[in-house]
Amino acid sequence: MFLTNQNILLNSFYFIDSDEGEETSTSDSGGGGHGINNSSLKTNKKPRKARTAFTDQQLNCLEKSFERQKYLSVQDRMELAARLNLSDTQVKTWYQNRRLIIQIFQI
């Protein structure tokens, strides 16, 4: 897989949250992270959806698709989501995050 040696580095990067369009930290350290926990500041918001755990098959298919095409049309994204039993938003967010990872590691 493309990121096997870089997974540890990704723990402190921020990614786009598919539900609210906000930046969120992927760090599991609990305290001392880079982001501010705004959960107590938000009012009348739905509880956050749990982070998606993609299967190996889904990740392999997403990676292969990404190698062919860095940006998906709406139709392609919907077809890929249906084929992988994921939502359109999950595929869209995975692609956004994947492009961000490439951008970060090219610097």
pLDDT, tens digit, for every residue of 20-32? 444 444 444 444 4
Domain ranges of the chain: 56-107
DSSP H or E run through 92: helix 88-106
* CATH superfamily of the 56-107 domain: Homeodomain-like (1.10.10.60)
pLDDT, tens digit, for every residue of 43-90? 788 888 788 899 999 999 999 999 999 999 999 999 999 999 999 999
Q: Are 22 and 48 in contact (CB under 8 A)?
A: no
pTM for the full model?
Answer: 0.59
